[in-house]
């Protein structure tokens, strides 16, 4: 009788120690719910320019759900704004495996190349992005950034005109336009676009540096 009681207690304890083994469906559902929670947090962090927190939360999503492929382009964006260009590029490569014809991915990788000084790679990716989607405002803005770096400000403004026609409230395009006008000593238009950039992304301090 004593042996039977001990065996029964052992079996009960075994069930308590490893509940996931007894109910894998419940464990999977719990992991999915946790992944959804972290994904929601990460998206909010990204919208509020809290890029380090966004990247951390997106990473937690992948730990819980490695098949959550939509995480990669968003974490790539967070890494990009953190200046972690190598990590951003790695996530873009993973995202491209699932979406090889995504114009936004080519545009983002082009911006990484620009910041890393690989202008040839940037030009190739921008040509690909605009072939896939001629109305990709991010690509037009990145083209303008290339022109600004080579001090071809009029050509930059021509590219930015296309970008702003597609998306007038884009922060990056308005900021780039402001910088191009500033370089051309057209201060009235520079102030106009710095003010727009500040309006569309009030948490970013860069436009305010120029506005004083």
In terms of residue numbers, what domain contains 146? 118-212
Q: Verify that 128 and 89 share a domain, yes or no.
A: no
Decide: 104 and 136 in contact? Cβ < 8 Å.
yes
Over range 125-144, report the average pLDDT: 96
CATH of the domain at 73: 1.25.40.10
pLDDT per position as a tens digit, 179-201: 999 999 999 999 999 999 999 98
The structural domain count of the chain equals 2
| Eight-state DSSP code of residue 135 | T
What pLDDT was estimated at residue 28? 67
In a domain, 110, yes or no: no
The H or E element spanning position 18 is none
Band (pLDDT 50/70/90 cuts) for residue 17 is very low
Q: Specify the pLDDT at position 125.
A: 97
Give dist(CA 184, CA 160) in Å, integer: 15
**Residues 172 and 93 reside in one and the same domain:** no
- Tokens representing 197 are 């950039």
67 and 20, same domain (yes or no): yes
Measured distance CA(83)–CA(79) in Å, rounded: 6
pTM score, two decimals? 0.79
């Amino acid at each position: 009788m004593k042996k039977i009681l001990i065996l029964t207690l052992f079996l009960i304890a075994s069930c308590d120690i490893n509940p996931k083994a007894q109910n894998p469906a419940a464990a999977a559902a719990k992991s999915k719910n946790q992944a959804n929670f972290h994904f929601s947090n990460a998206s909010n962090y990204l919208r509020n320019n809290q890029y380090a927190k966004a990247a951390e939360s997106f990473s937690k999503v992948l730990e819980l759900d490695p098949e959550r492929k939509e995480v990669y382009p968003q974490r790539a964006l967070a890494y990009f704004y953190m200046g972690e260009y190598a990590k951003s590029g790695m996530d873009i490569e993973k995202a491209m495996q699932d979406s090889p014809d995504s114009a936004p991915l080519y545009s983002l990788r082009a911006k990484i190349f620009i910041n890393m000084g690989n202008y040839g790679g940037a030009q190739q990716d921008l040509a690909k992005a605009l072939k896939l989607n001629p109305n990709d405002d991010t690509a037009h803005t990145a083209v303008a950034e290339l022109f600004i770096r080579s001090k071809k400000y009029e050509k930059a403004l021509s590219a930015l005109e296309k970008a702003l026609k597609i998306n007038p409230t884009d922060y990056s395009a308005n900021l780039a336009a402001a910088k191009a006008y500033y370089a051309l000593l057209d201060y009235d238009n520079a102030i106009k676009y710095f003010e727009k950039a500040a309006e569309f992304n009030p948490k970013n301090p860069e436009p305010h540096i120029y506005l004083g």
